[in-house]
Structure 1
Amino acid sequence: MSSSTTSKPRYQPIQPVHPNVTVPLPEQPIDRFVRPVARFLHIEAASGVLLMLCTAFAIIMANSAWADSYLSFWKTEAGVSFGSLHFQHSLRHIINDGLMAIFFFVIGLEVKRELVHGALSDLRRATLPIAAAVGGMVVPAGIYLALQYDQPAARGWGIPMATDIAFVVGFLALLGSRVPNNLRVLLLSLAIVDDIGAIIVIAIGYTHELDGRFLMLAAIGVGIVHLFSRLGVRRFPPYIIAGLLAWLAFHESGVHATLTGVILGLMTPAKATIVPDHFHQYLIKTGESFRGEVWHTANQRAQKVREVQRLTRETVSPLEYLETTLHPWSSYFIIPIFAMANAGVAMQLSNIEDPVAIAVTLGLVVGKPLGVLLFCVLAVQIGWARLPSGVSWRILIAGSFLTGIGFTMALFIDGLAFGEEGLDTAKTGIMVGSAISAVLGMVLLMWTLPKRKTTKVQT
């Protein structure tokens, strides 16, 4: 169509973040502020950078003149009451048991996605990351227990076992295209299997006395969620109510309440209800009702809009929809606020020299890469797995040091092992061990990865 016959739009569309996407909405003043933030949040390294800043803030505050006020703030009591029922806990407890349940729900969704559609869906592809993750859990725990055998702090054996996926993603993103995609997939799959292992450790190793009555009530809540799914309930509020019931029951049962999130995440359907082709036909059929005067004179327009919204959402699985919806909240709100509430530790020389700090540090810096490599070599030698294309042993050795960044889950298990506030010496070991692992991993990767190809301009 020629330009002379083209009608001029009555609105100015927003310039999209991605060049091939058009958003037919009028330009608003708020967009000039929101758009740069949206671009920042689309950067993979952003969540790791934000987590690092919040951790630094917590450490600075815990070592400043305002340390007492800062640390006591997280002990502030908050809660709700309903008749004779009272739910009142410290802010740190609400974050660690409440908000972190959403974080674990996202982990459950990620694990389900990998098991159904991702690298863990094929046993041959999954063998190497599973072997690496098992080695990266067993050897650090063994080193910690060997150094803390028959000591009161031996209960912290689970602290150096898990890899922090946010930091791993962030550091790999900083290296850009130099990182082979297969190494990225291997390390992320390893971190997800690590999360599964950490969940099992929390459920078995850090469960207190069990209350059978509340366990039964939790099972009923989970059963109601399953029943809703079997009956085809598509709305989220009934699931949220049943999930809250299960969470409260687990919270009172002795099993850590965050496991509710994992269970519900693994139960989330991974298949869409509507085939995209059928939805496309529906849009063609109903598209005329949105044209000009037909739309302005139509009846029940709000109902039509709600119907299109509902059917649009049903073209993707509940798992995909919830993961993409909750992942930003988990990465950019829950984990940073968890870090601010739990990473505040007095960095004293005596803490660094403490046997617990040394055990955690060695578990992360030595145990993680050693365990990953030993079990990878074993899996390859037996013939159960092989190195993916583009990943040499040198590159795997370098990348294995990044698995020693055990920040989020390590702090979480520290709180389970040594009380809500954790143990300062264990936190010191987590900080030092994670920092050393990050530096070693990045230096070795920059040294071993192929250099970026540069094109010479001929004159």
Structure 2
Amino acid sequence: MKATLLFKSFFESEKAGGLVLLFCTIVSLCLTNSSFISSYGTVWHNEIAGHSIEFWINDGLMTFFFLLIGLELKREWVEGELSNIKDTFLPLFGAVGGMVLPAFLFFVCNYKSSTSSGFGIPMATDIAFAIGILSLLGNRVPLALKVFLTALAVIDDLGAIVIIALFYTKTLHLVYAFWAFVVFLGLLVLHKFNKSSLVFTAIGGFLMWYFMLHSGIHATIAGILLAFSIPLNKKRSNELAHKLQMNLHIPVAFYVVPLFALCNTAIAIDKHWTSIFHENYSLGIMIGLCVGKPLGIISFAFLSIKLKLSKLPSNVQWNDLFGVAFLGGIGFTMSIFITILAFQDVVIVNNAKFVIVVASLISGIIGYLLLRNTKARTASFKDNF
């Protein structure tokens, strides 16, 4: 696997973004559980233009997060780490295992329970946090391992997006869904005939977001569709897709996602917080992220190698892959996002968010310690870069 310039740029932005995300989470948790709780906890519910600040962040700004994910997915397929089919199978199998097994374990823990709807919570990997931790290890981690984690997380996000679209649409209003689809087709036609411009794309994106919002499908899916409508040609670095991707990295990593964290990790923790882990949904999240995620990733990756569909990258050992598999258990952003969609009870949402933070922290620490014990590979690392 060879690194592209865009990959290195993406890795660097996600690395710094992960540290900012961690800082914002700590600040949010501290403020919520201090004397400022009465003001900080409610500030996100203040209304702007008829909707709460929380709504504008989760349903509005996060659309740009999904737009960036969509553009990254296209880049990976066209010119990135997934453009070579032989390099795709290992992270693809790992991602599938890392989605299926956690969802299954959560469902088992919540079988015949109203909280079974949260099966999608432990399925996703937070790219920013995972790469942020990986970057702390420096030359102990070969480039191929970073590429594997990034590709796995990107495929993971695609799976989470599909799950959101299929299973977390409460009521479908066909008229609005139809018009969203019409706008999407219109953008495809415009871009097909090289009529794509930032103005038309922005107007089409807004219209699609508006129709999605009223269709019952989560509005942020418009970001993914908008990304898929924009053509990407690896021979033309000045085209709209490249420009959008490069210009979105900084605002998404340092404004959108941190704001999401500040808003959605305002988690109240009472003195009886240990009782939270006795709940079925808590067990499902903990087991799904801390056990199901790494076990699913490593077992399916092993299966792909045994089937001779892929091979272990050079300079990467199984214990390295096992450490990265635990980093895959850092759900955070997407897990919290799905929690908001899966549960209606405010207490359950609050508690589930807390468990996600704890489970992600445990997975991150285990992954870090496993990779920390590997030997430094300075020469290989420099050669790759």
Same fold (TM over 0.5): yes
Q: CA deviation at 1:145?
A: 0.7
Matched, 1:166 2:131: no
- Once residues 326 and 119 of structure 1 are traced to their aligned partners in structure 2, the CA distance between those partners, rounded to angstroms, is 20
Determine if contact 1:351/1:424 at 8 Å carries over to the other structure.
no
Q: Which residue of 2 aligns with 1:52?
A: 22
Q: Which residue of 1 aligns with 2:362?
A: 436
Selected match of 2:307 from 356, 377, 382: 382
Q: Which residue of 2 aligns with 1:326?
A: 248
- Once residues 57 and 164 of structure 2 are traced to their aligned partners in structure 1, the CA distance between those partners, rounded to angstroms, is 17
Q: Which residue of 1 aligns with 2:3?
A: none
Q: CA deviation at 1:269?
A: 1.6
Determine if contact 2:142/2:377 at 8 Å carries over to the other structure.
no
- Once residues 103 and 115 of structure 2 are traced to their aligned partners in structure 1, the CA distance between those partners, rounded to angstroms, is 13
- Once residues 124 and 451 of structure 1 are traced to their aligned partners in structure 2, the CA distance between those partners, rounded to angstroms, is 25
Selected match of 2:291 from 366, 384, 407: 366
Matched, 1:238 2:200: yes
Q: CA deviation at 1:177?
A: 2.1
Determine if contact 1:273/1:317 at 8 Å carries over to the other structure.
no
Q: CA deviation at 1:223?
A: 2.0
Which aligned pairs between 1:38-49 and structure 2 lie closer than 5 A? 45-49=15-19
Q: CA deviation at 1:44?
A: 5.3
Determine which structure has the larger helix proportion and give its number: 2
Q: Which residue of 1 aligns with 2:187?
A: 225
* SS of residue in 1 equivalent to 2:373: helix
- Once residues 329 and 248 of structure 1 are traced to their aligned partners in structure 2, the CA distance between those partners, rounded to angstroms, is 22
Q: CA deviation at 1:370?
A: 0.3
Task: Write the deviation string for residues 40-67 of structure 1: whole angstroms up to 9, x where unpaired.
Answer: x966532111100111111112211221
- Once residues 135 and 272 of structure 1 are traced to their aligned partners in structure 2, the CA distance between those partners, rounded to angstroms, is 30
Task: Write the deviation string for residues 277-303 of structure 1: whole angstroms up to 9, x where unpaired.
Answer: xxxxxxxxxxxxxxxxxxxxxxxxxxx
* SS of residue in 2 equivalent to 1:45: helix
Matched, 1:425 2:351: yes
Residues 98 and 174 of structure 1: CA distance in aligned 2, closer, same or farther (over 3 Å)? same
Matched, 1:354 2:279: yes
Selected match of 2:33 from 63, 67, 82: 63
Task: Write the deviation string for residues 105-161 of structure 1: whole angstroms up to 9, x where unpaired.
Answer: 000000000011112112211001000000000111111111111111111100000
Q: CA deviation at 1:73?
A: 1.0
Q: Which residue of 2 aligns with 1:78?
A: 48
- My pick for the range that moved more, 332-341 or 64-73, is 64-73
Q: Which residue of 2 aligns with 1:141?
A: 103
Selected match of 1:267 from 229, 242, 256: 229
Matched, 1:210 2:172: yes
- Once residues 127 and 133 of structure 1 are traced to their aligned partners in structure 2, the CA distance between those partners, rounded to angstroms, is 10
Q: Which residue of 2 aligns with 1:90?
A: 52
Structure (1 or 2) with the larger CA radius of gyration: 1
Determine if contact 2:13/2:249 at 8 Å carries over to the other structure.
no
Determine if contact 2:140/2:371 at 8 Å carries over to the other structure.
no
Determine if contact 1:163/1:404 at 8 Å carries over to the other structure.
yes
Aligned residue type for 1:352: F
Determine if contact 1:271/1:318 at 8 Å carries over to the other structure.
no
Determine if contact 2:94/2:296 at 8 Å carries over to the other structure.
yes
Q: Which residue of 1 aligns with 2:5?
A: none
Determine if contact 1:178/1:450 at 8 Å carries over to the other structure.
yes
Q: Which residue of 2 aligns with 1:185?
A: 147
* SS of residue in 2 equivalent to 1:404: coil
Q: Which residue of 1 aligns with 2:117?
A: 155
- Once residues 298 and 14 of structure 2 are traced to their aligned partners in structure 1, the CA distance between those partners, rounded to angstroms, is 26
Q: Which residue of 1 aligns with 2:7?
A: none
Aligned residue type for 2:115: A
Aligned residue type for 1:235: S
What count of residue pairs does the alignment treat as equivalent? Answer: 365
* SS of residue in 1 equivalent to 2:311: coil
* SS of residue in 2 equivalent to 1:448: coil
Q: Which has the higher contact order (CA 8 A, sep 6+)?
A: 2
Residues 189 and 420 of structure 1: CA distance in aligned 2, closer, same or farther (over 3 Å)? farther
- Once residues 50 and 419 of structure 1 are traced to their aligned partners in structure 2, the CA distance between those partners, rounded to angstroms, is 29
Aligned residue type for 2:372: M
Residues 63 and 45 of structure 1: CA distance in aligned 2, closer, same or farther (over 3 Å)? same
Determine if contact 1:272/1:316 at 8 Å carries over to the other structure.
no
Q: Which residue of 1 aligns with 2:219?
A: 257
Q: Which residue of 2 aligns with 1:201?
A: 163
Return the TM-score normalized by structure 2: 0.91
Q: CA deviation at 1:175?
A: 1.1
- Once residues 191 and 57 of structure 1 are traced to their aligned partners in structure 2, the CA distance between those partners, rounded to angstroms, is 26
- Once residues 229 and 420 of structure 1 are traced to their aligned partners in structure 2, the CA distance between those partners, rounded to angstroms, is 43
Structure 1: tracts of 5 or more residues without a match: 1-40, 80-87, 275-314, 454-459
Q: Which residue of 2 aligns with 1:409?
A: 334
Q: CA deviation at 1:174?
A: 1.1
* SS of residue in 2 equivalent to 1:320: helix
